Structure 1
């Protein structure tokens, strides 16, 4: 047997012989690295196409999507089948089950990673957000953000076995690598709860600098927990062990979304997605120094490391793509088209026992159709900030519009509207009113046949997207207009 084959077999045995998380979050540092192989899968939960995309990381190729629901406007009628707003994601310690949360249909869908088949769908409370298995695989914890509890599901029966009451709006939970603690941040209250996994009791509370935390992660060393604050553009770090003291608050940037870790020969690094600047920022976990800023594309959201820490994958919410980052150089090495508005993502080593199996996967279809625009300050003012990015996700004859608004005054009312003229003048047709967060940013949505109106080739009733001051009943002066 030649040396190449020997190395390949050794790597394969290492990869398939362990259910560990390879020293990468959410697992322990002591677990071995799992080399990237065709058995690995990168999954993304796609909110507007209601799909889960499946990507092979070896050649960064989309293999297909698992369709959990239909696009709008089917969802405007009573919904008896299928899922809506596919959003959250977690996976089992044996890497054989994916748990996918759909916000709009209040569900957790359990998917067999070997066959891409839905094993079961469990319906729970209002607007769940994220789900993850405990490290021993005996429970699945789901944050029910529209209510005030964690739904604890038995992964064998798929039934809710108990609830852990929290302050209203739990955002996400993750566990210490040793499985002793669960860390639950809040999206409505400035408080992160630490829960004893063994008895489901809250044992500590950590103050959040703001109420809106969408994401939380624990280092593989088990010494730190990082959580993001989307509304004020900060990331906070606290001690993962008693007394759970806050360690550091970092100004990361507007629309700070998710955080995760890669452990390399140079140490452990935190990768934070900054939606308002279209970047990923990289920090050391020992001294919290920033070591890189990586431009990745419009509205980076979910982030997850490969099983050996050599890559970080990032979901680009307003670009319908995955960006693959080489952690040795902190450069983007691939951009993979996927479904509409990816939210949470997960890199699952050894998810596919048969890497050639494509059963239950479909082509992108309408999920791959979107148009993209930008809005910049009126008058062409250059303030060094990323322009507002706008995506129009095709849903048949209509589109879901999503604007990642940045560069406005904090805590002020604005209107996304259609203007009669390119410079924002003339009559205005309001689409959505919104208020910016303390960082002067917002995520704004609207629905309608908007692409047909703003497309440069439109033959009649051409209109231009603008942002004005004021309210929908009384819009003011345009402050951002379409960039050309």
Structure 2
């Protein structure tokens, strides 16, 4: 009897204290990293999906969904534009990829990398996630005020759920009972009963702009990010859905995801304006780590066993891999242009090498990296120029500006911004004094040329329109 009792104790202690990774439940078994797994990124400016083998951290190729600029400026009869959000089915066989500019959800077979269906929905969808039972796909149509509900097999729309204007993302409770929908334009998250499709709870957001939301595998908490004010919120995953905590995190706080490992359960948050990941213990909300990762971290997702976190670096055309035991970056992987959403799918490929229908990663120039600094010592703006052939897409991650004020990103013939300016983009800073700014043009030849008569310098000035005001940031000379 004693030996049986000892065996029982040993068997019970052999079971990990923490198992099951997001978006699954804590009761689900962990899945060790293997060559059958895949890590995917949705690449907004190359309109591709990058496919990575996490066992080797090798990019296997890309799935091409659309063309680059300027080819995609003509009437868009074929292909997708602004590839952005990403989710996957509970059986790990289907990837759901959102393209904001073409209002679509592309459903991709994870084994063959083939697009098996495209569903067109309303204006500017942002994210799509399967219900835990796989029967439905909920698409957050951020340009409107509803969730588009698709059948999980045919991928046709079966209904719509009216929500506050600008739904940013839906994530489900691990048991599938609730769908949590945060908003990007309204300061309210709603909780929907998945059986009745009725709103059963409301959570006041600290600001209107939530891009991302995650439910903990233990079914107790929901974490959401507030990009405009640089905060995360945590609320009770069950009625009455009370707010537990609001945490100041930093400018351009973007995505959040949950990791469970032998040390506990942790929330990993991308802070784009600081080029960092911040890690919080979900038991007491205390920050336990800060991880420098690279230029403008965006989406992130844990491996099937929680041993790693994969992070897309939006302004670096790369992904970094974090060892969650040490919270150190252990690899950097080149991928497509401007990764947005990401997904780690365990056991995505059961048969074959999973390389069918992939194209080589384009041998384009790496993005040109520039930095603007405040003339008063305040603020730093990271600028990346993504090569599209004859033109470049410019993306600037601005910080250190006055909150909620108009500014203009412009070109100047003078390194200090003196004299006439050529405006590129007018923008409004968010409540945290930050902004993401985009422009398109033959910009590399202007800012990198050695010809003094043709040279231009990037600056940020106050105001808007054709007559900007005082210069606040200037290009740091390399």
**Under TM normalisation by the shorter chain, which class is it?**
over 0.9
Please state if 1:437 is matched with 2:436.
no
Q: For 1:366 and 1:407, how far apart are their aligned partners in 2?
A: 35
Determine if contact 1:404/1:443 at 8 Å carries over to the other structure. Answer: yes
Deviation at 1:86, TM superposition (A): 0.2
* Higher alpha-carbon deviation: 294-303 or 420-429: 420-429
Listed as ranges, the matches of 1:395-434 within 5 Å are 395-434=388-427
Name the counterpart of 2:459: 466
Determine if contact 2:19/2:261 at 8 Å carries over to the other structure. Answer: no
Deviation at 1:465, TM superposition (A): 0.7
* Higher alpha-carbon deviation: 468-477 or 121-130: 468-477
Match of 1:446 among 439, 447, 450: 439
Deviation at 1:200, TM superposition (A): 0.9
CA deviations 1:374-400 (Å, max 9, x no partner) are 111126x2x5x6x31111111120111
Determine if contact 1:22/1:307 at 8 Å carries over to the other structure. Answer: no
Please state if 1:282 is matched with 2:282.
no
Name the counterpart of 1:311: 308
Q: For 2:412 and 2:197, how far apart are their aligned partners in 1?
A: 54
Match of 2:240 among 243, 254, 259: 243
Determine if contact 2:315/2:367 at 8 Å carries over to the other structure. Answer: no
Name the counterpart of 1:215: 212
Determine if contact 1:452/1:458 at 8 Å carries over to the other structure. Answer: no
Runs of 4+ in 1 over 3 A off after TM superposition: 366-369, 456-460
Deviation at 1:423, TM superposition (A): 2.1
Secondary structure (helix, strand or coil) at the match of 1:151 reads strand
Secondary structure (helix, strand or coil) at the match of 1:476 reads coil
CA deviations 1:32-83 (Å, max 9, x no partner) are 1100001111100011110000011112111111000000112221110000
CA 1:165/1:91 → structure 2, altered by over 3 Å: closer, same or farther? same
Deviation at 1:473, TM superposition (A): 1.8
Deviation at 1:373, TM superposition (A): 1.0
Figure out how many residues of one structure are paired with residues of the other and give that number: 460
Name the counterpart of 2:134: 137
Deviation at 1:478, TM superposition (A): 1.7
Q: For 2:365 and 2:180, how far apart are their aligned partners in 1?
A: 35
Name the counterpart of 1:69: 66
Please state if 1:174 is matched with 2:165.
no
Determine if contact 1:318/1:391 at 8 Å carries over to the other structure. Answer: yes
Q: For 1:256 and 1:65, how far apart are their aligned partners in 2?
A: 28
- 5+ residue gaps, structure 1, are 1-20
Determine if contact 1:340/1:368 at 8 Å carries over to the other structure. Answer: no
Q: For 1:368 and 1:187, how far apart are their aligned partners in 2?
A: 33
CA 1:366/1:103 → structure 2, altered by over 3 Å: closer, same or farther? farther
Listed as ranges, the matches of 1:295-310 within 5 Å are 295-310=292-307
Deviation at 1:368, TM superposition (A): 5.9
Determine if contact 2:385/2:444 at 8 Å carries over to the other structure. Answer: yes
Determine if contact 1:89/1:346 at 8 Å carries over to the other structure. Answer: yes
Name the counterpart of 2:5: none
Secondary structure (helix, strand or coil) at the match of 1:475 reads coil
The two structures, once aligned, show a CA RMSD in angstroms of 1.4
Determine if contact 1:278/1:298 at 8 Å carries over to the other structure. Answer: yes
Secondary structure (helix, strand or coil) at the match of 2:284 reads coil
Q: For 2:351 and 2:457, how far apart are their aligned partners in 1?
A: 49
Deviation at 1:154, TM superposition (A): 0.7
Deviation at 1:477, TM superposition (A): 2.2
- 5+ residue gaps, structure 2, are 1-17
CA 1:458/1:22 → structure 2, altered by over 3 Å: closer, same or farther? farther
CA deviations 1:212-244 (Å, max 9, x no partner) are 000000001010000000000010000000111
Determine if contact 1:43/1:52 at 8 Å carries over to the other structure. Answer: yes
Q: For 2:71 and 2:364, how far apart are their aligned partners in 1?
A: 15
Listed as ranges, the matches of 1:317-328 within 5 Å are 317-328=314-325
Secondary structure (helix, strand or coil) at the match of 1:474 reads coil
* Higher alpha-carbon deviation: 418-427 or 137-146: 418-427
Secondary structure (helix, strand or coil) at the match of 1:454 reads helix
Q: For 1:345 and 1:280, how far apart are their aligned partners in 2?
A: 15
Name the counterpart of 2:448: 455
Please state if 1:187 is matched with 2:184.
yes
Match of 2:354 among 349, 352, 357: 357
CA deviations 1:344-393 (Å, max 9, x no partner) are 100000111236231111112266642111111126x2x5x6x3111111
CA 1:124/1:466 → structure 2, altered by over 3 Å: closer, same or farther? same
Secondary structure (helix, strand or coil) at the match of 1:283 reads strand
Q: For 2:450 and 2:103, how far apart are their aligned partners in 1?
A: 40
Please state if 1:44 is matched with 2:41.
yes
Secondary structure (helix, strand or coil) at the match of 1:276 reads helix
Determine if contact 2:317/2:338 at 8 Å carries over to the other structure. Answer: yes
